Structure 1
Amino acid sequence: MEPIRHIACLAFAEVMSLDVTGPLQVFASANVERQRQGLPPCYVLHLLGPEAGPVKTSAGFALVAEQAWREIDLASLDTLLIPGGMEMKQLCEDTALLDWLRQAEPRVRRLGSICSGALVLAAAGLLDGRTATTHWSDVEALSCHAAVEVQGDRLHTYDPQGRDGDAHVFTSAGVTAGIDLALALVEADLGRPMALAVARRLVLFLRRPGGQAQFSALLTPEPSRTPRLAALLEWIPANLGGDLSLEALAAQAKMAPRSLSRTFSQELGVGPGKYVERIRLEAARTLLQDAQASIATVARLTGFGHPENLRRTFHKHLSVSPQEYAERFGRPTFD
């Protein structure tokens, strides 16, 4: 008989509601699937707040914490999850909470975070010497903790075997990656068939392809003002299938190639070649998502030429092939 596992998730003012409800629903659905199979539930879920009572989420509605985190018996918990939210700086400076997490770490079997919750674990020193990830927009902030090995494109760092992650203290990336993490925890607890059954019931991938880069517009938004390059940046998307070499761009901008490279670095933080590759990739993504052309045609229209060049660029930036991307985000099957 499976042991009863108590799963607790922290809640605090302006918490991201899906960081809490997404993972907890996975565990609840595992209970439902077990009941369908004539088996008893094995997860007991707890929501912990600063105090017992309603906790306002970043979505505006409240979740109700059953008790204060200070009051729970840590030894009774199997897994403790720390979600992200809008007030992470304040949470990272809450010495009482950080002390409590340090006390929790050796007493719970598993301690994990969702999204920017990794910043709290890092502030408590619990990620020192460990691999960690977080929401793509918080990767830089997490990287300020020099003792943490940050891998920004991971969906989560949980590995029950400890080969490519940690079975005890682990993190997950942006928002819905907490659901990926919870499915991995269910698989470790109850086996792959049960995790597949939960994923199927919730219409999810058990393991979705690629990392969070494929969902985050290449992680780096472009600056809104590029005065010396404005005309050229407007011209590039209209000429993706043509010659966009450094020399061609410099001629169009009426600048010397070296001056153009320097200006790109100053105004965009990236060289002309990488910028063009990014714009071509974004255009290819759009075409594949909208099911407007075959992969071969997309490669030609966006300046990659051969589908193999497109495939290499997709793997480089998104960790999936164009075919996999089209199947996940587009409508029909492509050539």
Structure 2
Amino acid sequence: MESQRWIACLIYPDVMSLDVTGPMQVFASANVERQRQGLPPAYRLNVLGDAVGPVATSAGLSICAELSWRGLDTSALDTLLVPGGLGVERQCEDQALLDWLRQAEPQVRRLGSVCSGALLLAAAGLLDQRPATTHWADLDTLRREHPAVQVQDDRLHTYDPLERDGDAHVFTSAGVTAGIDLALALVEADLGRSLALAVARRLVMFLRRPGGQAQFSALLAPDPNRTSRLAALLDWIPAHLGGDLSLEALAEQARMAPRTLSRVFVQELGMGPGRYVERVRLEAARALLQDAQASIATVARLTGFGHPENLRRTFHKHLSVSPQEYAERFGLRPLKESRHA
């Protein structure tokens, strides 16, 4: 009889409940699909806490830890998942937990994180010199506090079943639902594409979502304390997206020489004026498409892209999907006159 793979997920106070239940449900659904085929369950599932008993998540719900990670024989584990959540910062200071993760890493076949759980793996030193991602809101923290980590901004997860490097058994995933994408990839590697596709279909998911996490994240408002010289200009730009936002036009508005403005943008925002304008225009186009307020041609005109083809190229460049696909996936209502995609 085929032996079951033991999948365990760590939990702790103020963990993100979906980081735990989302991936674990994928493995549970794989068991159900196997049973429908007359096959035995492929996975044994458990959650691990500091102690056995209920653990309050950040949602106010409790998840019961069936086993304690303290003293657990990690060599019996196939896959260990480390979720994120509001409580992850406290866990990053728990030396006993960090030591346990370091001890577990060479013993488990696969060690992965979900969302900000990457910060916990990084705190244990397990992501040094490895590619890693996390929730888009935590990318800067990961990059700043753990410079040895090879941070990858726009990945849903870093698991690669074809990678034969010995370090490939440690991987990360991006924000929240990307943990489900990761779990589907693990199931596909274990049980084949057909079974993974059946699970994805049952959960009404993509087996592989097109694009990366940038298509789900928001353009954060600049910190006014860091952009004092540009504050007025940055307020002005969103109200004039359909107009001339060339370097010369922006420099005239800011009352700076073009070269000076370019230097200030890089110093205060980490990017040049052209790239910043493109991102703001992209965010505005996304908002219009999500609200289904206009056709793609009109959205392109209102946001300064001009021709729909320019909008399409920008969407593919940053989000790896077309405006039409984005509108269909995230729009609140059917898109008007969508033939221009």
The verdict on a shared fold, with TM-score over 0.5 as the criterion, is yes
Q: Deviations over 1:142-180 (max 9, x none)?
A: 223233211121111111111799641111111111111
**Residues 295 and 307 of structure 1 are in contact (CA less than 8 Å); yes or no, is this contact kept in structure 2?**
yes
Bigger drift between 111-120 and 145-154 goes to 145-154
**Residues 7 and 79 of structure 1 are in contact (CA less than 8 Å); yes or no, is this contact kept in structure 2?**
yes
Partner amino acid, structure 2, of 1:273: G
Match of 2:204 in 1: 203
Taking the aligned partners of 1:163 and 1:309, their CA distance within structure 2 comes to 40
CA 1:132/1:87 → structure 2, altered by over 3 Å: closer, same or farther? same
Deviation at 1:233, TM superposition (A): 3.8
Q: Equivalences for 1:165-184 in 2 at 5 Å? A: 167-184=168-185
Deviation at 1:291, TM superposition (A): 2.3
Deviation at 1:128, TM superposition (A): 2.3
Bigger drift between 236-245 and 49-58 goes to 236-245
Taking the aligned partners of 1:290 and 1:69, their CA distance within structure 2 comes to 46
Q: Deviations over 1:61-103 (max 9, x none)?
A: 2111012101322122111111112232322222211221122
Q: How many residues are aligned here?
A: 334
Q: Does 1:298 pair with 2:317?
A: no
Taking the aligned partners of 2:131 and 2:274, their CA distance within structure 1 comes to 31
Match of 1:332 in 2: 334
CA 1:265/1:201 → structure 2, altered by over 3 Å: closer, same or farther? same
- Provide the identity percentage: 78
**Residues 223 and 268 of structure 1 are in contact (CA less than 8 Å); yes or no, is this contact kept in structure 2?**
no
Partner amino acid, structure 1, of 2:139: V
Deviation at 1:203, TM superposition (A): 1.0
Q: Deviations over 1:122-151 (max 9, x none)?
A: 222222232111111222222232332111
Taking the aligned partners of 1:231 and 1:85, their CA distance within structure 2 comes to 35
Q: Does 1:276 pair with 2:270?
A: no
Match of 1:134 in 2: 134
Match of 1:24 in 2: 24
Match of 2:84 in 1: 84
Taking the aligned partners of 1:152 and 1:269, their CA distance within structure 2 comes to 15
Deviation at 1:228, TM superposition (A): 5.5
- Note the residue ranges of structure 1 that are not aligned, 5 or more in a row: none
CA 1:164/1:304 → structure 2, altered by over 3 Å: closer, same or farther? farther
Taking the aligned partners of 2:171 and 2:228, their CA distance within structure 1 comes to 43
Q: Does 1:95 pair with 2:95?
A: yes
CA 1:262/1:127 → structure 2, altered by over 3 Å: closer, same or farther? closer
**Residues 115 and 134 of structure 1 are in contact (CA less than 8 Å); yes or no, is this contact kept in structure 2?**
yes
What is the Cα-based RMSD across aligned positions, in Å?
2.4
Taking the aligned partners of 2:266 and 2:214, their CA distance within structure 1 comes to 22
Match of 1:240 in 2: 241
Taking the aligned partners of 2:284 and 2:306, their CA distance within structure 1 comes to 14
Match of 2:9 in 1: 9
Taking the aligned partners of 2:21 and 2:228, their CA distance within structure 1 comes to 44
Deviation at 1:21, TM superposition (A): 0.7
Match of 2:38 in 1: 38
Partner amino acid, structure 1, of 2:201: R
Which secondary structure state, in structure 1, belongs to the residue aligned with residue 70 of structure 2? helix
CA 1:313/1:165 → structure 2, altered by over 3 Å: closer, same or farther? farther
Which secondary structure state, in structure 2, belongs to the residue aligned with residue 120 of structure 1? helix
**Residues 53 and 64 of structure 2 are in contact (CA less than 8 Å); yes or no, is this contact kept in structure 1?**
yes
Taking the aligned partners of 2:159 and 2:176, their CA distance within structure 1 comes to 16
Taking the aligned partners of 1:289 and 1:232, their CA distance within structure 2 comes to 26
- Note the residue ranges of structure 2 that are not aligned, 5 or more in a row: none
Partner amino acid, structure 1, of 2:188: E
Deviation at 1:268, TM superposition (A): 4.7
Deviation at 1:227, TM superposition (A): 5.8
**Residues 12 and 57 of structure 2 are in contact (CA less than 8 Å); yes or no, is this contact kept in structure 1?**
yes
Partner amino acid, structure 1, of 2:302: L
Deviation at 1:256, TM superposition (A): 4.4
Deviation at 1:26, TM superposition (A): 0.7
Which secondary structure state, in structure 2, belongs to the residue aligned with residue 185 of structure 1? helix
**Residues 187 and 196 of structure 2 are in contact (CA less than 8 Å); yes or no, is this contact kept in structure 1?**
yes
Which secondary structure state, in structure 1, belongs to the residue aligned with residue 127 of structure 2? coil
Match of 1:157 in 2: 158
Which secondary structure state, in structure 1, belongs to the residue aligned with residue 55 of structure 2? strand
**TM-score, length of structure 1 as denominator length:** 0.90
Taking the aligned partners of 2:14 and 2:6, their CA distance within structure 1 comes to 24
Taking the aligned partners of 2:157 and 2:260, their CA distance within structure 1 comes to 42
